[in-house]
């Protein structure tokens, strides 16, 4: 009797232990996949590069008749996913034998997944790249040199030269992009707040926030709290004539103390005046989430938006969105240039096929018709002309951001090699300032010290 009871106990115990261990293993190894699931990765394909290595090798990789499966990965919203999948089908129809293993997700998940793929050398053949990160990935040797791809007559040579890193081209520009600010036009008009004007200054911007405080009900705000966004501060510093935070491919670092303190103090004052949302509210915003987007939820009247991304916001609040450029200083403001690229993995087995696809992607009229404005204003003027008559309001608004910004635009500043850590530290340190746990002076010292250390390491 005792015996039977005992064995039952141990069986249960073993079973329970098994469950615990399984749970523990799961939580430990979930890193990469976790991000995707969290950000709504809808891709059914398991490993993007798995496809390419399974495909029968075509000898020197040049025989076009052999069947090739190209791994391709991009980030974006649903409309971009659907359009791109259609374009891939089109390519497969035009080029029998070439098929794709697509993997697509939202921005956050993409940049969580890519480092793991790069580390395990399983980056898909073709991958979308962003100007914010391309330098870092080039430095890590992940991307193939595409300088020999002939883009004459498709992309302005000046644009190509501008994009070269150490004299080489690592990404084919897909579109003209620009940074601006979207605002809720009917709501501002209804409250009698003067609308943002083209080429407005930082002073105008902060005055706008204070005017909105007076004319809007409690709990609604003119602008968001941009204390902990490093790129906003970088626009402020460069717009006011300062050097970019990270210069010379990350070999120099400049955090202007006067400008930094002035900028952060202004936001601290605005927080006190309740002209920006309280910190716990600011940190709970999720862009393009209908109930948590700062603008779509109706809480904030403005937010940052780019030519390539504003359509998603417009879809959430049709006919309410208008746009203006980033506030300017004496030196200018914001940026207007190509920031979305397609790159080829340095480890790809099918580099030639991948390059051919890249060229097709920005030249084929049918591809242009399929992809429309899902990655911003097409870089190829012919494609743009072809699309222009059929553009919808959500596309035109993206074009408007570009037109608003181009006159005063400064260069696009990316996160230089090794500075991802600094950007994360900027965010957490400035969150400490937002919640009143850290002084602006201390934050400056900490950020300046770390920035100088990383720059010294890069030099």
**Calpha distance 152→173 (Å, rounded):** 13
Q: Give the nearer residue to another protein in terms of CB position, either 125 or 395.
A: 125
Identity of the residue, 91 or 230, whose beta carbon is nearer to another protein in the bound complex: 230
Closest approach of another protein to the CB of residue 224, in Å: 14
Of the residues 7, 31, 153, 441, which one makes contact with another protein according to CB under 8 A: 31
For another protein, the binding residue among 316, 406, 431, 452 (CB under 8 A) is: 431
7 binds another protein (CB under 8 A): no
What whole-number distance in Å separates Cα of residue 145 and Cα of residue 69?
Answer: 21
The count of other CB atoms within 10 Å of the CB of residue 377 is: 26
297 interacts with another protein by CB under 8 A: yes
Q: Which residue has the tokens 């940052």?
A: 304
CB of 31 to another protein, least distance (A): 6
Give one DSSP letter per residue of 206-219, joined into a string.
HHHHHHHHHHSPTT
Rounded-to-integer distance, Cα 208 and Cα 456, Å: 40
- For another protein, the closer of residues 293 and 395 by Cβ is 293
The answer to whether the CB of 413 falls within 8 A of the CB of 132 is no
Site string for another protein, 220-259 (x = CB under 8 A): ----------------------------------------
Look at the block and give the residue holding tokens 């004319």. 215
Task: List, in order, residues 6 or more apart from 32 with CB less than 8 Å away.
Answer: 112, 113, 116
For another protein, the binding residue among 7, 37, 53, 186 (CB under 8 A) is 37
Kindly identify the residues of this chain, within the stretch 433-452, that bind another protein according to CB under 8 A: 435, 437, 446
145 near another protein (CB under 8 A): no
Give 428: exposed, middle or buried? Use CB within 10 Å, 0-12, 13-18, 19+: exposed
One of 24, 63, 195, 456 touching another protein (CB under 8 A): 24
Q: How many other β-carbons are positioned within 10 Å of the β-carbon of residue 372?
A: 18
Q: Among residues 7, 38, 147, 274, which is the contact residue for another protein, using CB under 8 A?
A: 38
- Three-state DSSP class for residue 337: strand
Tell me the closest approach of the beta carbon of residue 410 to another protein, in angstroms. Answer: 27
Q: How crowded is the C-beta side of 167, counted as CA atoms within 13 Å?
A: 0
Residues lying near another protein in the complex (CB under 8 A)? 5-6, 9, 12-13, 15-17, 19-20, 23-24, 26-28, 30-32, 34-35, 37-38, 112, 115-116, 118-119, 140-142, 279-284, 291-292, 297, 420-421, 424-425, 427-428, 431-432, 435, 437, 446
């Amino acid at each position: 009797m005792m015996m039977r009871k005992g064995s039952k106990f141990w069986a249960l115990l073993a079973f329970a232990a098994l469950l615990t261990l399984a749970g523990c293993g799961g939580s430990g190894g979930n890193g990469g996949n976790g991000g995707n699931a969290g950000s709504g990765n809808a891709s059914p394909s398991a490993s993007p590069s798995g496809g390419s290595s399974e495909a029968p090798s075509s000898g020197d990789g040049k025989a076009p008749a052999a069947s090739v499966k190209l791994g391709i990965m991009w980030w974006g919203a649903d409309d971009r996913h659907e359009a791109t999948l259609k374009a891939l089908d089109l390519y497969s129809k035009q080029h029998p034998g070439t098929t794709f293993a697509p993997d697509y997700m939202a921005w956050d998940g993409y940049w969580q997944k890519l480092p793991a793929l790069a580390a395990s050398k399983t980056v898909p053949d073709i991958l979308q790249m962003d100007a914010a990160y391309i330098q870092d990935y080039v430095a890590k040797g992940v991307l193939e040199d595409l300088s020999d791809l002939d883009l004459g007559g498709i992309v302005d040579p000046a644009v190509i030269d501008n994009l070269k890193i150490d004299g080489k081209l690592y990404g084919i520009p897909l579109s003209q992009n620009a940074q601006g600010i979207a605002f809720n036009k009917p709501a501002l008009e209804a409250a009698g707040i003067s609308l943002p004007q083209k080429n407005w200054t930082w002073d105008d911007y902060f005055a706008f926030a204070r005017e909105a405080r007076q004319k809007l009900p409690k709990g609604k705000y003119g602008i968001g709290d941009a204390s902990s966004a490093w790129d906003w501060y970088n626009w402020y510093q460069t717009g006011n004539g300062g050097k970019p935070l990270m210069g010379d491919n990350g070999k120099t670092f400049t955090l202007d103390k006067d400008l930094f303190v002035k900028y952060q103090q202004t936001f601290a004052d605005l927080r006190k005046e309740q002209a920006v949302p309280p910190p716990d509210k600011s940190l709970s915003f999720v862009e393009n989430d209908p109930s948590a987007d700062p603008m779509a939820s109706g809480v904030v009247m403005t937010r940052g938006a780019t030519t390539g991304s504003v359509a998603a916001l417009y879809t959430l609040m049709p006919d309410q969105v208008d746009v203006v450029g980033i506030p300017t200083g004496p030196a200018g403001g914001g940026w207007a240039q190509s920031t979305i690229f397609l790159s080829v993995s340095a480890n790809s087995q099918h580099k030639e096929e991948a390059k051919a696809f890249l060229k097709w992607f920005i030249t084929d009229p049918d591809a242009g018709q399929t992809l429309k404005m899902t990655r911003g204003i097409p870089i190829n003027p012919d494609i743009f002309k072809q699309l222009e008559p059929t553009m919808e309001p959500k596309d035109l608004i993206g074009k408007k951001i570009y037109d608003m910004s181009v006159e005063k635009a400064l260069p696009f500043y990316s996160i230089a090699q090794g500075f991802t850590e600094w950007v994360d530290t900027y965010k957490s340190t400035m969150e400490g300032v937002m919640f009143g746990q850290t002084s602006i002076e201390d934050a400056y010292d900490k950020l300046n010290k770390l920035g100088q250390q990383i720059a010294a390491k890069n030099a």
